[in-house]
C-alpha cells in the first residue's frame, strides 16, 4: 500500500527524513538527530541516531533553526559598494538610495528581489520581513494593479524558496511639519505615498496571504506618517492581528523634529497613538531616553537591531541590553544589505556592546541565535518557526563545521563557533517547509545567483 503522504499530488511536501550530524536544540548541541518532516512541518525529532537512517537526507555540520531576517529593503542591495565611496551621513546616503528607487518597476524589482532573496537563502535565511514602501509608478501614479510592486516581492520570495512577511509601509510625508501634519513628499517620495492612511489601508486590504507569505503593516517613521494618522495604521494591524513595524529613533534629527512639533519623543508619540504592543517591532531603537526604553519594554514592543547597517550609516549603537531587560524581545535584520549575513548581525550586536562597555559576554551564543531565529520569526508573525521541535515549520539551515573558518572547536561549541566565527559563506544547506532550497552551498531554484544579482543591479544602474 502506498503511504498517502507519498502521493505528490495529494501533498505538495512529501514525507522525508533529514539526518543531522549535529543539531542546535535551543540549549545545546545534540549529535545524531533525525527530523521527520511531513507536510512542511517537523513531525518528530529523534535523538541518539548515530548513523543516517536508510533514505534519509544527510546534513553534515551544525543544523540550526532557519534564520529570520526581520528587516529588509530588497532594493538597497543595489547600493552595495556604490555607497562606500566618499564620506557623509545617513542623509547623504539617502540621496543615492533615492536615485535607485526612482528606477524600479514591478519587473525590475521582481528580478532584483528574487536574486536578493536567493542570496538570503544561501545565507541560511528562511524568512524575510520586507519593509516595503515603493508602491506606485514614478510621480505617484498607481499601477493598474495598485499592489503590483508588493506582489512582485511576494512572488520573488516564492521563486527564491523563502517565506516573506510583506510589511506594507505607510509613507505619507517628507517630514514633520507641525502638530497637525507633515511636509509634502518630495519628488522621490511621491512613489511611496498613498496620500492618506485611509487610502493606504484600502490598498493593503486587497493583499492576500499565501502559504509562504504573510501580510503585515509598517509605519515608515514618525517623519513619514503624521501623528493624526498613526492610529489608522495601528488599527488596521490590530484588526488582522498582523505584525506592525516602525523605524524608530534611528536619527537624532527625527527626535529633534518630533520634540519641536509634539513636545515628546517619537516613542511617546507612538505610545499615545496606540502603536506599541507585543505585535509591534521598533526597528533600530537607537537614540532613546530611559522613559522610551520603559515604554517599549513595558508594552512588550520588540526591537529589531540592524547592526551592520547601523554601523555602515554611522547611526550609533542602540541600547539593546537595556531594552531586552525591560521586556523588549530582540530580532535582527540586514536592512540596507551592506552585507547579508545574520551570523554577522548576531555577533555585531554583542561586539558593539563590548566596545561600548569594555566588558565581554552580554549575550550567550544561544541568546544571539534565538534573536536570529525564534524571536525574529515571531516578530514577523511566524510564531511556529525558528525552533527544531515537533510541530514547528520545517525550516532549518546547516553550517559547516569543517571550513577554514570553523574547523578546530569541538562540536559541543558549535553555537559559539557559528555565531562568533562562521559567516554566510559557511551555510551548506537551507530547508524551507521541508524543501531543500540550498544544497551543498548551491541554490536549487535560482541557478546562478551572483549572475542574477549582477544583471538585476546593472539594469537599475543603466
Which span (236-244, 290-298, 332-340, 385-393) binds Zn ion, by CB under 5 A? 332-340
- Closer to Zn ion by CB, 36 or 335: give it: 335
Q: How far is the CB of 404 from Zn ion (least distance, A)?
A: 33
Q: How far is the CB of 200 from Zn ion (least distance, A)?
A: 18
Binding to Zn ion (CB under 5 A) within 268-297 occurs at none
| Closest residue by beta carbon to Zn ion | 335
Q: How far is the CB of 307 from Zn ion (least distance, A)?
A: 13
- Closer to Zn ion by CB, 69 or 352: give it: 69
Q: Is 335 in the site for Zn ion (CB under 5 A)?
A: yes
- Closer to Zn ion by CB, 286 or 373: give it: 286
Q: How far is the CB of 246 from Zn ion (least distance, A)?
A: 10
Which span (105-113, 224-232, 328-336, 425-433) binds Zn ion, by CB under 5 A? 328-336
- Closer to Zn ion by CB, 72 or 328: give it: 72
Which span (161-169, 274-282, 329-337, 353-361) binds Zn ion, by CB under 5 A? 329-337
- Closer to Zn ion by CB, 254 or 335: give it: 335
Binding to Zn ion (CB under 5 A) within 92-121 occurs at none
Q: How far is the CB of 309 from Zn ion (least distance, A)?
A: 7
Radius of gyration of the chain (CA): 22
* CA pair distance 218, 227, nearest whole angstrom: 14
Is 5 catalytic? The answer is no
Catalytic residue among 132, 135, 136, 284: 284
Catalytic residue among 335, 341, 375, 426: 335
> Angle 102-108-109 (CA atoms, 0-180°, nearest 5)?
75
Q: Is 30 in the site for Zn ion (CB under 5 A)?
A: no
Which span (88-96, 264-272, 334-342, 427-435) binds Zn ion, by CB under 5 A? 334-342
Q: How far is the CB of 79 from Zn ion (least distance, A)?
A: 13
Phi, psi dihedrals of residue 158, rounded to the nearest 5°: -60, -45
Q: Is 130 in the site for Zn ion (CB under 5 A)?
A: no
Which span (181-189, 312-320, 333-341, 352-360) binds Zn ion, by CB under 5 A? 333-341
- Closer to Zn ion by CB, 21 or 310: give it: 310
Is 26 catalytic? The answer is no
Decide if 333 contacts 70 (C-beta within 8 A).
Answer: yes
Q: Tell me which residues are annotated as active site.
A: 284, 335
Which residues of the chain form contacts with Zn ion (CB under 5 A)?
A: 335
Amino acid at each position: 500500500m502506498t503511504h498517502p503522504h507519498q502521493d505528490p499530488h495529494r501533498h505538495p511536501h512529501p514525507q522525508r527524513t533529514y539526518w543531522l550530524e549535529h543539531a542546535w536544540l535551543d540549549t545545546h548541541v545534540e549529535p545524531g538527530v533525525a527530523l521527520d518532516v511531513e507536510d512542511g512541518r517537523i513531525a518528530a525529532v529523534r535523538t541518539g541516531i548515530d548513523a543516517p537512517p536508510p533514505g534519509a537526507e544527510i546534513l553534515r555540520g551544525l543544523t540550526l533553526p532557519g534564520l529570520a531576517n526581520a528587516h529588509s529593503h530588497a532594493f538597497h542591495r543595489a547600493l552595495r559598494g556604490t555607497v562606500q565611496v566618499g564620506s557623509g551621513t545617513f542623509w547623504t546616503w539617502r540621496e543615492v538610495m533615492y536615485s535607485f528607487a526612482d528606477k524600479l518597476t514591478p519587473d525590475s524589482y521582481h528580478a532584483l528581489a528574487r536574486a536578493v532573496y536567493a542570496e538570503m537563502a544561501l545565507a541560511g535565511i528562511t524568512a524575510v520581513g520586507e519593509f516595503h514602501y515603493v508602491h506606485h509608478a514614478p510621480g505617484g501614479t498607481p499601477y493598474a494593479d495598485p499592489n503590483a510592486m508588493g506582489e512582485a516581492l511576494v512572488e520573488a520570495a516564492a521563486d527564491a524558496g523563502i517565506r516573506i512577511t510583506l510589511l506594507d509601509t505607510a509613507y505619507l510625508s517628507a517630514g514633520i511639519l507641525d502638530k497637525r501634519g507633515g511636509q509634502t513628499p518630495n519628488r522621490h517620495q511621491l512613489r511611496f505615498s498613498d496620500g492618506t492612511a485611509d487610502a493606504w489601508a484600502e490598498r493593503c486590504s486587497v493583499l492576500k496571504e499565501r502559504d509562504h507569505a504573510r501580510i503585515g503593516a509598517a509605519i515608515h517613521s514618525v517623519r513619514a506618517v503624521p501623528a493624526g494618522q498613526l492610529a489608522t495604521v495601528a488599527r488596521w494591524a490590530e484588526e488582522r492581528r498582523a505584525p506592525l513595524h516602525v523605524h524608530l529613533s534611528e536619527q537624532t534629527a527625527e527626535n529633534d523634529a518630533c520634540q519641536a512639533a509634539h513636545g515628546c519623543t517619537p516613542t511617546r508619540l507612538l505610545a499615545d497613538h496606540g502603536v506599541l504592543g507585543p505585535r509591534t517591532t521598533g526597528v533600530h531603537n537607537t537614540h532613546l531616553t530611559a522613559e522610551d526604553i520603559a515604554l517599549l519594554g513595558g508594552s512588550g514592543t520588540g526591537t529589531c537591531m540592524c547592526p551592520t547597517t547601523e554601523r555602515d550609516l554611522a547611526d550609533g549603537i542602540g541600547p539593546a541590553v537595556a531594552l531586552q531587560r525591560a521586556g523588549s524581545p530582540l530580532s535582527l535584520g540586514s536592512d540596507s544589505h551592506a552585507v547579508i549575513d545574520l551570523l554577522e548581525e548576531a555577533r555585531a550586536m554583542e561586539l558593539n556592546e563590548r566596545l561600548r562597555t569594555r566588558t565581554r559576554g552580554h549575550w550567550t551564543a544561544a541568546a544571539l541565535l534565538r534573536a536570529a531565529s525564534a524571536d525574529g520569526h515571531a516578530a514577523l508573525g511566524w510564531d511556529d518557526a525558528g525552533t527544531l521541535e515537533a510541530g514547528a515549520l520545517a525550516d532549518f539551515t546547516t553550517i559547516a563545521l569543517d571550513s577554514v573558518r570553523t574547523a578546530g572547536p569541538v562540536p559541543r561549541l558549535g553555537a559559539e563557533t557559528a555565531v562568533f566565527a562562521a559567516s554566510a559563506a559557511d551555510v551548506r544547506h537551507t530547508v524551507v517547509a521541508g524543501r531543500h532550497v540550498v544544497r551543498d552551498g548551491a541554490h536549487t531554484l535560482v541557478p546562478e545567483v551572483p549572475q542574477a544579482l549582477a544583471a538585476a543591479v546593472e539594469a537599475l544602474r543603466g
